[in-house]
Chains A and B, each alone.
Chain A
């Protein structure tokens, strides 16, 4: 039995230690906001925060999470930066199909938490690991700048 800190709550899960965190979130805890994309940490759809830093849940064995605090897209409605970014996302109408967007927002929150005023290059490189096959990249950048400048 493992104890995980998920979105501020200590939860006990009975899973093998080598199960990727993403499986635990989606299939065991029912937190399906975090998406499965590539499974090899190359697309960013599964991005969550570990102690505030963006991490890929698909390749992270749950046994190695330890005491670190896991935060998922579900908690962003109460997160100050998460709220502002989601509002900016709506204002810029960023989303097309939407599948990658939970990961995009989690990476954007982590980026702005670390660097509150990123320039274009810092945004592009900071968000580079999150793919969007609808190519909403320019609108993502615009929404991040909206929050960064505010």
Chain B
């Protein structure tokens, strides 16, 4: 029932029965459940919570090139949350990025993707949020530099960059493809991280899903390009990656993507994950500099020769016990390093980020942990360790330097 009504909402096949059932008490529960599912598909929680905080109460700082934004309280508290919002208020916020008081949001709130969602889906999310316990928590003030603190400027931005349009299924494509496209481009808002942004912080249309740098991480190219994107990944591997955060030999989710898996993707149905795969495999291929390393067999023992002896020693101390010298991952596939773009990027962007910050992934079989080495290794140690990993597992001469590591110690850099 849940998925069926969901699909109906998406394709607009039959909205009347939905509106009818929404009036009665037991159906409210159905609406709330549908809203919960869509809120997960939209990964709302990733931003609208702080570590250790109350879910959906917001307060997460989001570092932008022009200052710091804070996510807001979207629990139904009447004073500090959205408890007084009407249906129209909520729909307008999601589709047009404008709050009930007429003030414009910044596109860190991905209304530029949510705008594709039909009113019915948006109101299901509202019904779910309003079913939660209100949390009294004041929103922190944003800290933006002039002229970016002038919200009216966003009206102009929206004129230029917001397509205030709902999702229209492509009749030439299958129902599955359309469902996948809706999830990826609408609630899933993948492009908000995976598409590069222009000078005005708007998503590039010509390089859709071609990869971008965000919060100090590479959001990889997820177009169907066989070298640079996910075109060469078997469908099954891509589905497994989305559902569990790991596809051995292809990718392991870290940083913000691990949060997407933890909060959102692992809760989606298999049918929806498969639909996303079907759509992603058809996204226009875009080239990029970094691809997966060519597959090669490494010995299961310590390499006798290396240009990075300090890195090799540190790998033996802190890394080999889980990752193994052949990169096969001793404990679980989550620790497998073979075939990852992360160990083939000479700048070591994601590699250094995960070394500094560590990682947490909630897999179907439990919690998988990568410790953070921020406080344990100094700049010289981390750069040599990174360069060893890049040369050993990625066959790439790494460009990490102690000075570069010092720069990247700042969160989100």
Contact = CB atoms under 8 A, between A and B. Distances in A.
Interface of A: 16-20, 40-42, 44, 47, 50, 53-56, 59-64, 114-115, 121-122, 124-126, 128-129
B321 A54 contact: yes
A125 B312 contact: yes
Contacts of A53: 324, 330
A40 B371 contact: yes
B330 A59 contact: no
Nearest to A128: B316
A125 B302 contact: yes
B287 interface: no
Nearest to A122: B302
30 contacts: A17-B365, A18-B365, A18-B367, A40-B369, A40-B371, A41-B331, A41-B369, A41-B371, A53-B324, A54-B321, A55-B331, A56-B321, A56-B330, A59-B322, A59-B369, A60-B332, A61-B363, A61-B365, A61-B366, A61-B367, A61-B368, A64-B331, A64-B332, A114-B301, A125-B302, A126-B302, A126-B316, A128-B317, A129-B317, A129-B321
Interface in B324-350: 324, 330-332
A129 B331 contact: no
A36 B368 CA distance: 17
B149 to A, nearest CB: 42
A64 B371 contact: no
B13 interface: no
B142 to A, nearest CB: 36
- Binding site secondary structure of chain B: mixed
B300 interface: yes
Given A55-B331, A64-B332, A128-B317, A114 B365 contact: no
Given A19-B366, A122-B302, 18 more contacts: A17-B365, A18-B366, A42-B371, A56-B321, A56-B330, A59-B368, A59-B369, A60-B331, A62-B366, A63-B366, A64-B331, A114-B300, A121-B304, A125-B320, A126-B302, A128-B320, A129-B317, A129-B320
A40 B373 CA distance: 11
A128 B313 contact: yes
Contact of B330 (A55, A115, A122): A55
Size category of the B interface is 20 to 34
Contacts of B364: 63
A130 to B, nearest CB: 8
B318 interface: yes
Contacts of B322: 41, 56, 59
A129 B365 CA distance: 25
A61 B364 CA distance: 10
List 8 A-B pairs, minimum CB-CB distance, nearest first. Answer: A61-B366, A18-B366, A63-B365, A128-B316, A129-B321, A125-B316, A125-B302, A40-B371
Contacts of A122: 301-302
Contacts of A124: 316
B243 to A, nearest CB: 15
Given A18-B366, A59-B369, A125-B312, A41 B321 contact: yes
B75 to A, nearest CB: 28
A18 B332 CA distance: 13
Given A55-B331, A125-B302, A64 B365 contact: yes
Contacts of A128: 313, 316-317, 320
A63 B244 CA distance: 14
Nearest to B322: A41
A56 B302 contact: no
Nearest to A53: B330
